Amino acid sequence: MRFLLGWVCMLGMMIAGETFASSRSVVEKPIVVILMGPPGAGKGTHAKPLGEQLGIPHISTGDLFRENIQNQTSLGQTAKSYINAGRLVPDAVVLDMLFARIDQPDCNQGYILDGFPRTVAQAEALDPRLKNSRVIAVNLNVPDPLLVERITGRLACKECGKLYHKKYSAPASQGQCDLCQGTLFQRDDDKEEILKKRLEVYRAQTEPLIEYYGKKDVLREINAADSPDSVFHLVLDQIAEPVARG
C-alpha cells in the first residue's frame, strides 16, 4: 500500500510537470539518503543520478579521500596507506572530513551518502546531525561472485569521475570517457587481492549497520543484481514515498 501511495504521489508530480527536486521546494525537512552495500554494489553508480533527481549533493567519502590523495594533502597521505591495504580509514579522520562537508550550505536541503557510515561508531556520530531530517537507508544486495566481477572490471574517469565497467558499461572508445574524453583508470584498491580484504572488512565492520538502521525503521532492502537501469528504478521506488511525504 505504501509503495502504491509513493508511486501515485510520484506520478502526480510527473503529470504536474514536477521533478523530485522542484517538488521538494515545498518540503520542510531535509532528506538524507544513505546508500549502503558492499564494495561493487552500485552505490556510486546510483548516487550521482539520484542526487540530480532529488536536487541534493552526492557525498562519497571514498571520492573525498581520493581527491585528497591526488592533491597530496596530509589527510590524503594518512588515508592512502589504509585504502591501499583494503582497510578502513580511522573513524576520527573520516568524521572530521565528512562533517566539514555536510556543514556546507549546499547540504541544507539534504544529501546522499555513499560509503558512509561504514562502522557503527560512525553511524552513532552521525545520528545527532540527522535529528531534523527524513532519513532513508537503502541497502543494495548483490551476491559475492558478482561483486568481484564488478569491482575488478570497474573503470573511472580521472576528470569527471564517471564510472564504467569493462564488460557491463564499456566506454565507446577504449580508455576514454564518453562524456569528457578524460582518461579512464582502474583504482589501485580494485585489484582482486585487496578486494578480498575489503569484503572481509565490510562483513565485520559495515554489515552490522543493516541491523542498526533496520531497528530505526528507516531501512529499505533492494536486490541490486539486475541491470543498472532496473536497479535505479527500484531505488527510486523506495524513496518516492518518503520524499512525497516530506
Residues near ligand AMP (CB under 6 A) are 39, 60-62, 65, 82-83, 87-89, 94, 115-118, 122, 189, 198
Among this protein's residues, is 48 annotated catalytic?
no
Q: Report the nearest approach of ligand AMP to the CB of residue 56 (Å).
A: 19
Helix, strand, coil shares of the chain as percentages rounded to 5? 55, 15, 30
Q: Please identify which of the residues 29, 87, 101, 187 carries the catalytic annotation.
A: 187
198 is catalytic: yes
Q: How far is the CB of 115 from ligand AMP (least distance, A)?
A: 3
| Closer residue to ligand ADP (CB): 157 or 243 | 157
Residue 204: CB minimum distance to ligand AMP, A: 13
Could you tell which of ligand AMP, ligand ADP, none binds residue 231, using a CB distance below 5 to 8 A set by kind? ligand ADP
Say whether 87 is catalytic: no
Nearer of residues 79 and 243 to ligand AMP, judged by Cβ: 79
Q: How far is the CB of 165 from ligand ADP (least distance, A)?
A: 4
Cα separation, 210 vs 222, whole angstroms: 12
Q: Which does 64 bind (CB under 5 to 8 A by kind): ligand ADP, ligand AMP, none?
A: none
* Per-residue CA distances from 20 to 11, 24, 32, 54 (Å): 11, 6, 14, 5
- The entry of ligand ADP, ligand AMP, none near residue 169 (CB within 5 to 8 angstroms by kind) is ligand ADP
Backbone angles phi, psi at 237, to 5 degrees: -55, -45
What is the separation, in whole angstroms, between the first and last Cα of the chain?
18
- Measured CA to CA in angstroms, residue 42 lies from 10, 35, 138, 227 at distances of 24, 9, 11, 10
d(CA 104, CA 68): 18
Distance (Å, whole) CA 179 – CA 177: 5
Q: Give me the catalytic one of 118, 134, 150, 220.
A: 118
State the Cα angle at 142 between 139 and 144, rounded to 5°: 130
Annotation says 118 is catalytic:
yes
Active site residues: 43, 118, 154, 187, 198
